[in-house]
């Protein structure tokens, strides 16, 4: 089993603890964990989770951190930075919608299905 740390989240976006303190990142991790639970209808624990859950929580928390650093906002899987608004699920291709929910593959500046790689921020 894996666990998500504040350093894991900061490492994704290459920031320091001075830029985004542990307490703030841990709140983002918890929010990402709750979002994962809502999307999958199953309980999750960021301190003891599967690798796929760790990936989802880590990257979603990193996106929350980007929003925090840039003055944007994030609620669940919807993000706003400046005049850019993204609702991840509304942009998901129909065929891959369930894959995004169950087995996400997330990266620094992209949120995408591990099959089609089509959804981006």
Q: What is the mean pLDDT of residues 13-31?
A: 93
Find the angle CA(13)-CA(81)-CA(71) to the nearest 5 degrees. Answer: 75
Q: Above 60 in pLDDT, residue 109?
A: no
In whole angstroms, give the CA distance from residue 114 to residue 11.
Answer: 21
Q: Above 70 in pLDDT, residue 29?
A: yes
Give residue 71's region: left, alpha or beta (phi > 0; psi -120 to 50): left
Give the pLDDT band of residue 7 (cuts 50, 70, 90): very high
């Amino acid at each position: 089993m894996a666990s998500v740390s504040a350093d894991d989240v900061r490492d994704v976006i290459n920031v320091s603890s001075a830029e985004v303190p542990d307490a703030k990142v841990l709140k983002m991790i918890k929010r990402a964990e709750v979002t994962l639970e809502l999307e999958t209808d199953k309980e999750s624990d960021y301190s003891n989770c599967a690798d796929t859950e760790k990936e989802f929580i880590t990257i979603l928390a990193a996106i929350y951190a980007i929003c925090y650093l840039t003055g944007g906002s994030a609620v669940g899987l919807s993000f706003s930075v400046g005049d850019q608004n993204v609702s991840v699920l509304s942009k998901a291709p129909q065929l891959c919608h369930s894959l995004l929910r169950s087995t996400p593959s997330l990266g620094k500046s992209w949120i995408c299905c591990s099959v089609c790689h089509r959804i981006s921020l």
